[in-house]
Amino acid sequence: MLKRCHELMFAIALLCATCATPAREVAPTPPMGWNSWDAYGLTIDEAAFKANALELTKLHPYGWTYAVIDEGWYMANPFGDKLQNRQYVLDAHGLLIPASARYPSAAGDQGFKPLAAWVHAQGLKFGLHIVRGIPKQAVQTNLPIAGSSFHAVDAADTSDLCGWDDGNYGVRDNPAGQAYYDSMLAQYARWGLDFIKVDCIADHPYKASEIRQIAAAIDKTGRPIVLSLSPGPTQPEHAAEIREHAQMWRISNDIWDSWIFAHNPPKEDDFPMGVQDIFVRLQPWIGQARDGHWPDADMLPFGMLAPNPGWGKPRHSRLTLDEERTQLTLLAIARSPLILGANLTQLDDETRALLTNKEVIAINQTATDNHPVGDLPAGFERLRVWVASGSARQGSRRFLAVFNLDDKPASVEAPWDKLGLPAGNLVARDLWKGDRLPASDRLKAMLPAHGCALYAIDARHDGR
């Protein structure tokens, strides 16, 4: 009877919280999906995108929803050695449009509307990547901005260039600049866009005015579009402002397929970063993953990274299966968005098994009070521990993740209360192996190098 009362109280509290939520919550849980960059770089075309989207439908029952075309969809020649040789395709109002040779359904003035409709028919959601700003070509020919009396030169800040992609000028913080972004997002909304990843805006440099302009333009469309900002590491001092405008923001530079690439500990400008670096990058953002706004620890560079990865040569991910499991576990318990980078048409069975573990995904989507545990016992110097609480529907359930950062296996033994849980006899179940541990007052485990364990903990102390 007491348990039933508690369940009813939780249900009432959850209902009240829902009632207090704004009517249009764009990303109530961390977004999950697939992005073309890690496997295709600039070169993804309609046929390859559809093939991957069809594979994504097999993962959709587990929560993987967004199919995102990353940078380059507007380039007639994505293999050009320089940006100016990649032949951007623009409409009469200076807006980027799909290169129809690569996206046949976009021929005429259709844009991505037919492709987005096809994605929606598969039960998925459609996303695009852009680099902030206005194309240089639009400014050089001074094209008119749709729906306004302004022209491209009125909106462009020609002194502002992205340090690693010089195809665009920055957009001024003036009515012309707002009109340009309004026209852009209005067109994307007409196409049926659900997700937009905007690059060169969250850090190096941080462009607060363009973030505000883009968010305002999205609001004017009336369409629920997730705003994802990149790259990182976004600086923690921008947390309040960035949470106001975006649903996702990168907290690291690009994560690629290595345990650690450069410095230990990582430096601000390290590129690329490895899996171990994520532990450091998450630290300043503890407590921020909530209320429809999600610090983003970047994509999962799993499986086959081919035929034209965004960095490096075509390859199968250099992460071991243990390292993949560690990255997914960390992002799950930290409640980061989960965006796959693999070529899904060549997904191996081992990686697929990681991506379809419903209980691990449920932690990412529904857990609360997710945080690392400090003050660990002696001998835990190369270990990291995170805990989280179950959702209201799960009552008093807790979750425990233990990570081994060392290059050799580690034996773990500690009382539960030294790991951020209640003291006493607890029942634990390994969510990766499926094993149920006998009731005990402590955790005993052996972790592989760069490996982890993830447990669901029943808070009952009687071991039943």
Supply the CATH number for residue 421's domain: 2.60.40.1180
Do 93 and 191 belong to one domain?
yes
Same domain, 387 and 357: no
Q: How far is the CA of 454 from the CAs of 37, 127, 302, in angstroms?
A: 29, 31, 19
Tell whether 257 and 292 lie within a shared domain: yes
Residue 39 has which token pair?
């496997």
Q: Are 78 and 370 in contact (CB under 8 A)?
A: no
Are residues 44 and 138 part of one domain? yes
Q: Are residues 334 and 382 located together in one domain of the fold?
A: no
* pLDDT tens string 2-38: 334 333 333 333 333 333 333 358 999 999 999 999 9
pLDDT at 118 over 60: yes
Tokens of 246: 């975006």
Q: Are residues 222 and 360 in the same domain?
A: yes
Per-residue pLDDT tens digits for 407-423: 999 999 999 999 999 99
Least confident of 73-82, 237-246, 390-399: 390-399
- Centre a 10 Å sphere on the Cβ of residue 338 and count the other Cβ atoms it contains: 25
Question: Which of 366, 387, 420 is where one domain is finished?
Answer: 366
pLDDT tens per residue across span 258-280: 998 766 666 666 788 999 999 99
Question: Domain end: 366, 400, 426, which one?
Answer: 366
Provide the strand spans (E) within 208-342: 226-229, 248-250, 294-296, 304-305, 315-316, 338-340
pLDDT at 99 over 50: yes
CATH of the domain at 133: 3.20.20.70
Task: Indicate if 131 and 204 belong to the same structural domain.
Answer: yes
Specify if 24 maps to a domain: no
Provide the pLDDT for residue 115. 98
Q: What burial letters (b/e) apply to 38-62, b meaning 16+ CB within 10 Å? A: bbbbbbbbbebbbebbebbeebbee
16, part of any domain: no
Mean pLDDT within 186-212: 97
pLDDT computed for residue 315 by the predictor: 98
Residue 359 shares a structural domain with residue 414 = no
Q: Are residues 354 and 395 in the same domain?
A: no
Q: Quick check: is 188 in a domain?
A: yes
Tokens 């129809």 belong to residue: 100
154 lies in some domain: yes
Q: What is the pLDDT of residues 296-308, one digit of tens each?
A: 999 999 999 999 9
Residue 174 has what pLDDT?
98
Q: How many domains does the chain have?
A: 2
Query: Which has the closest alpha carbon to 317: 326, 306, 327, 333?
Result: 306
More confident residue, 73 or 24: 73
* Domain extent at residue 171: 31-366
Looking at the structure, do residues 298 and 413 belong to the same domain, yes or no? no
Residue 166 or 2, more confident: 166
Final residue in a domain of this structure, among 366, 381, 400: 366
Question: Does residue 375 share a domain with residue 358?
Answer: no
Is pLDDT above 60 for 170? yes
In a domain, 8, yes or no: no
pLDDT for position 22: 37
